[in-house]
Amino acid sequence: MPKFYGFGECKVCSVPCTSGNFLRHEGKRYCTACWVEKSNPDHPDLKEIREKVEAAVEEWKCAKWTREEGPLPLGPKSVKK
């Protein structure tokens, strides 16, 4: 089974990007915390945004399946069957 690398990682802080917590600008990926810090360094909730992004990464890593934890979910059906 191939390894799934997710959505890449942030160009600035190298945090893995999760669904809804990153954006692409000029071909580069930024997590929302780095983008807010870049565009508005005086944002009052910058620390909370960074904590939310890091917590989403930890939750995403825990949601992945492995063979040791239990059976893998069934994928799409084969075309031939």
Residue 57 lies in a domain: yes
For residue 70, pLDDT beyond 90: no
- Domain encompassing residue 47: 1-64
Number of domains in the chain: 1
For residue 69, pLDDT beyond 80: no
| Residue scoring higher pLDDT (43 or 3) | 43
pLDDT at 1: 37
Residue 4 lies in a domain: yes
pLDDT at 2: 42
Q: Give the CATH number for residue 57.
A: 2.10.110
Residue 3 lies in a domain: yes
Residue 71 lies in a domain: no
CB neighbours of residue 68 within 10 Å = 5
Place of tokens 């979910």: 73
pLDDT, tens only, 31-60:
999 999 999 989 999 999 999 988 888 777
Angle between helices 46-63 and 32-39 (to 10 degrees): 160
